[in-house]
Structures are given as C-alpha cells and as structure tokens.
Amino acid sequence: MKSRDLSVILKHSFGFDSFRTLQKEIMEDSLAGRDVFALLPTGGGKSLCYQLPALVRAGLTLVVSPLISLMKDQVDAMDAAGIPATFLNSSLDAEESRRRFGKLEKGDYRLLYVAPERLILPGFLNSVKRLGVDLVAVDEAHCISEWGHDFRPEYRRLAELRDILPGVPILALTATATGRVREDIVRQLRLKDPAVYVASFNRPNLMYRVLQKNKAYAQVLEYLRDHPADSGIIYCQSRKTAEAVSEKLNDDGIRSRPYHAGLGSDERTRNQDLFLRDEARVVCATVAFGMGIHKPNVRFVIHYDLPKNIEGYYQETGRAGRDGLPAECVLLFGAGDTVKYSLFIEQKSDPREQELARAQLRQIVHYAENSTCRRAALLEYFGEKFSPKECGACDNCLSPREKFDGTIAARKFLSCVFHIKEKSGFSVGLNHVVEILTGAATEKIRKWRHDELLTYGIGKEYGRPAWLQIGRELVRLELLTQRAEKFSVLELTAEGRLVLTENRSISLTEPLVPAVGSPSGSRSFQPRSQRGEIVCDETLFERLRQLRKRLADERNVPAYIVFSDVSLRQMARDLPKDKKAFRNITGVGEKKLQDLGDIFLSEIAEYPGTQ
C-alpha cells in the first residue's frame, strides 16, 4: 500500500495528520509480509503500528497483550474510533467468550487482543487457526526475555505461533530493551530475517531532575500543592511505604490510591481504574504498577526511593507525558537508600546475582550523583549518543551544580586508599575508606588497626554521605578503579598516583549533601520544561476537561478515550467554530467528528472568550 493511502486512513480513522518517527516504515514492512522488530519509546505510538494496518488487511490482527486493563482500554479506544475490535481474557465469563469467538469466526472484528496465558491454553492455539489471522503483534515483547526487566514465562510459548501460523508475519514491539534483550526477543519469537527498527530513546518533553531527599513526604506534598491540576505516579520501594504515603496524601486532601502486589486483584484493578478515570490524582505504587498504563496525561513521575536499576527507572519515568506535553520525572535521592539496597544485596544467596545487583546499584547511584546531563546519561545506557547542548530539560543542564577546588579532598581520599593498601596488603571498599576518613570506631577498623593510619579522622569537614559522593566521583574521574571481587574494592589508578606525587589540582562537583555545617545543598523544584507545550486559554481548557469527564463517565471509559489533553488544548487555542475547523484538531477522526463534534463546538461557542 502507498504511503499516501496510509496517511488518508491515519487522518480518517485516528485523526492524526502525520506519522511519528518510524511508524510508516514499520507498517509498510509489516504489510509487505516481513517479520518486524520495533523498539519505540513509551509514547512513541507502538499500538498504531498494528491498529492502522488492521484496517488494510483482509484478515484478523491478533494482538498478544499482557494486561487485562490495557486490552479493555485499547478496545474502548478502537470502538470510539469506529474500528471493530474485541478481547478475550479471564475477565469474561464462558458465555460471553463463546459469543465473541463466534463473531470472530464470522469475521466481525479486525483486531483481537488476547493475554498470553489464554493463548497457550490447551486447544486455544489450534482454534486460532480458524480465525484467518493475517498478523501476530506481540506487545511488550521484552517480557519474553529473562534478561529483561519484566520476564513472563508464559511469553516463551509464543514461539509455538510460528508452527500454528507458519505463513503469518510477526510484529514484535517494545518500549525498552538493551541489545542483549533485543537479540533474545528475535531468537525466542523465531523471527525470520526481521526488519529491525530502533527509534531514539529520547523523550524531549520530559524534564529529569534529582533532589536530595530531605523530609521526603514534605517535599512531595509541596510539589503536589504547587501543581494542583496534575495527575501522576509516586514510585516507592516497599508496599508499606506506598500505603503510608497514599494514606498521608488523602489526609492532606489529595485523592490518592496505593497499588502493589500485596493488594487483592480486585482492589488493584479498582485503584488503577480510579487513576485512569481521574477519580484519583495520584497512585502511590511499587514497581508492580505501570506496564501497559496508557494514561497519556500523567504529568509527573516521582521516585520516592532509589530505583533498583537504570532500565527500570527509564521504563517508569516513561509513563509520564505520553501525550507529548511537558511532564516531570523527579528522583528523591538519599544516602540511606543506597545503604538499604546494599543490605538487600548482601541477603542474596547467589554470588552472581549479588555482583549484578551491585553493578546496577552503582549505575543508578552514578546517574543520581552525576553532574552532567541526565538525558545523555540515560541514553548512553542504551547505547545512544546525545549532545547535552540539545537537552534543555534536566536540572544539571538548566542549573549546573557548582564546581569547587577539590584538590585537598581528593588527595585525602586517594592518600587514604594508598595507605590502607601499604599497611594491610589488601584493598577495601568505599564504605570502609569513608569510615577511616571520618574517624569511625568500627570493629573492622580496630581489627585491622586502621585507626593507626595517618589518614584516620582527617576528613571530618565532610559527613559520610558527602565523602561517599566524592569517592564515587573520583571513580568516575578514573583516579580510582572499583574492582569487583567477592566485595567491591577501591584501588589507585596510574592517574590517581600522579595526583599524589605531582600535586595536581582537582576540580570536583559540589556534593548533593554539603560539607558539615554548610547550608543545605538540596535544590528546590524548578519550573517545568516547556517542550511540547500548547499555550491556550486555560479557563476554557478546564471547561473542556469537565465536559470530557462527563462524557467519559456516561460511556464508562477513561477520559482520554474521548479526547486527549492535546486535543483539548488545541481546541482551547484554535477555537474552532464549525465541523470543518474541528476536523483539523489532532485526534478528531470521522467517527469522533460525528459523535462528539457538535457537543464540543457548542461548549466552545458558549465560552465568553469566543463571543
């Protein structure tokens, strides 16, 4: 099919004037019968890559999707656009499942969403053969890989589709995957000479910032009160914390619900629905929450505790700003989080798991403490080069942390590492070096007589958290190397030795935790990034939001199924006066034009500013 024809369908059915990056190329290869692997960032429009071609194909598009709530949202969105779609999962009783399957056999639907657990039930795979499947789309394809962040064993059996439907192309889609995971997806799904598309991981509308954790709940409450109309997610390390923060927010007048694996299935579903339908402003959640959450107007993601790894952090922050409008990703970082995770790691019985967990912890701490561009650091993890000059939306680029002459501090730290090795004949870890510098009286210090070292207690101008950050920066500057044996130990590099012998000067970044007795080093919340902003009449926008909510409640769907915030902001900016003008609003396809055009045009016409 010609690109022009796809563009016509894009506007007619979905209301979009242009494709996002790589969407058109993915569709064209898939329609040509090729297997395709596509990695698009969250909010990059993965779903459209199989939804639009489903209108072109003669047969059925089978979509494997891991979450029941996501399937219902997708089907509701298809219904709103006038596209026949359905799902089969455990939320349906036997009679309803048989009714839908009968309609599938008659060819009444263009898309079928099914959970992998249902797909691999005895007999179901063979039943699929009768449905005239033209494409298998595997959403959240990283779930098939043990190297991914959300491995699901039932995904492994999806390879059987290759035998059941040997001539049917497969489209594998994911929002986040390292090179190792990408290779595993292609192998596990048995993709044949696939076309591979990897879009940039960059989300330019997201603002990234790290704040020193200091009375974390008060920091969160301040933020929420400063952004009273915004909806978002607060990620917590433990179920207990998620429950406690949610309860406090409700006590302070902010509608919040908890979400974690310890809640019953019905309660989790109810809390998620309240969030999706804007009945709850905030979800306080563990990492159990989020995959497949297609709520486009999440304006912030706050990490109350340190994430376990970079990949999980990227995936979780990616739930903000799916609509392309400005959104914030805030990480509250405290030294105590590092200590807690280190203790968890020590409890792991498998040494290889311990080593991997330590490496992941070092990476996320490096991200939190680094003084360079946050965006560049995230993208580098996924093998993507990015120039900080193009950022303009992270705290380190907008308000660079100050540098100071750290020569004395560096020499003290490096000298301490040198003298430990000279006296004891072995190297020690970062924590032990800091304990010596700060004059701690630990059992190990007494046992190894490290209180006799010349460097014992010479660093009392800084507290432990600041010295830990300085030590990690010296590793990043390659003056120290952190060698992983049974325990991670520090050793001087050749450059580090030259700092000691040649008295070189060293510039260091002001620690997030300042020197003892100095003012707090915590930076406050700053104005949100303006990238992707649509300036409009805010009063009219709020009126349109209220109208959207009423219509969504009548239809028993989330508000964004009616229209996205992008659509409403364009309405409040452009003030369309008739259906011809209304058709130019993003997200207005023919079905929504007929169903909703007059309602919204009437609301706009009645607004005083349009008289």
Per the structure block, which two tokens stand in for 552? 């969504």
pLDDT attached to residue 325: 94
pLDDT attached to residue 523: 47
For 148-204, the pLDDT digits (tens) are 667 888 888 898 889 899 999 999 999 877 788 899 999 999 999 999 999 999 999
CA atoms within 13 A on the CB side of 140: 24
pLDDT attached to residue 291: 57
pLDDT attached to residue 458: 97
For 541-562, the pLDDT digits (tens) are 999 999 999 999 999 999 999 9
pLDDT over 60 at 518, yes or no: no
Average pLDDT for residues 33-52, to the nearest whole number? Answer: 93
Average pLDDT for residues 251-256, to the nearest whole number? Answer: 97
All structural domains of the chain = 3-198 (3.40.50.300), 206-398 (3.40.50.300), 403-509 (1.10.10.10), 538-610 (1.10.150.80)
Q: Do 506 and 499 form a contact (C-beta atoms < 8 A)? A: yes
pLDDT over 60 at 516, yes or no: no
SS3 214: coil
pLDDT attached to residue 513: 54
Percent of the chain with pLDDT over 90: 67
pLDDT over 80 at 512, yes or no: no
What distances in angstroms separate CA 506 from CA 188, 318, 334, 406, 434, one per listed residue? 49, 37, 25, 5, 19
Q: What is the DSSP string of 316-377?
A: HHTTS-TTSS-EEEEEEE-HHHHHHHHHHHHT-S-HHHHHHHHHHHHHHHHHHH--S-HHHH
**Between 249 and 143, the higher pLDDT residue:** 249
Q: What is the sign of the dihedral through the CA atoms of 407, 408, 410 and 414?
A: positive
Greatest mean pLDDT among 273-287, 392-406, 489-503, 590-604:
590-604
pLDDT attached to residue 290: 63
For 560-578, the pLDDT digits (tens) are 999 999 999 999 999 999 9
Instruction: Out of 54-63, 330-339, 359-368, 524-533, pick the least confident.
Output: 524-533
CA atoms within 13 A on the CB side of 523: 21
Average pLDDT for residues 507-511, to the nearest whole number? Answer: 86
pLDDT over 70 at 487, yes or no: no
pLDDT over 50 at 255, yes or no: yes
pLDDT over 90 at 326, yes or no: yes
pLDDT attached to residue 288: 66
Residue matched to tokens 């596509």: 38
For 112-149, the pLDDT digits (tens) are 999 888 888 878 888 888 899 999 999 989 889 877 66
The number of helices, as runs of H, and strands, as runs of E, in the chain is 27, 17
Q: What is the DSSP string of 457-513?
A: TTTTTS-HHHHHHHHHHHHHTTSEEEEESSSEEEEE-HHHHHHHHTT---EEEPPSS
**Between 272 and 520, the higher pLDDT residue:** 272
pLDDT over 70 at 452, yes or no: yes
pLDDT over 50 at 459, yes or no: yes
For 76-110, the pLDDT digits (tens) are 999 999 999 999 988 889 899 999 999 999 999 99
Give the orientation angle of helix 374-381 with respect to helix 351-369, to 10 degrees: 150
Instruction: Out of 140-154, 246-260, 331-345, 504-518, pick the least confident.
Output: 504-518
Q: How confident is the model at residue 514 (pLDDT cuts 50, 70, 90)?
A: very low
**Average pLDDT over the chain, rounded to an integer:** 89
Q: Whole-prediction pTM value?
A: 0.83
Residue matched to tokens 């179901």: 124
The residues that bridge with 507 in the sheet, in sequence order, are 405
Strands 133-138, 60-64: pairing kind: parallel
Phi, psi dihedrals of residue 394, rounded to the nearest 5°: -145, 155
SS3 78: helix
State CA 246 to chain mean position distance: 21
CA distance 125 to 568: 42
Nearest to 499 by CA among 383, 404, 606, 406: 406
Length of the chain: 611
pLDDT attached to residue 52: 96
112-133 as b/e: b if 16+ CB within 10 A: bbbbbebbbeeeebeebeebeb
State CA 414 to chain mean position distance: 37
pLDDT attached to residue 292: 55
pLDDT attached to residue 571: 97
**Between 287 and 81, the higher pLDDT residue:** 81
Element (H, E) at 551: helix 538-555
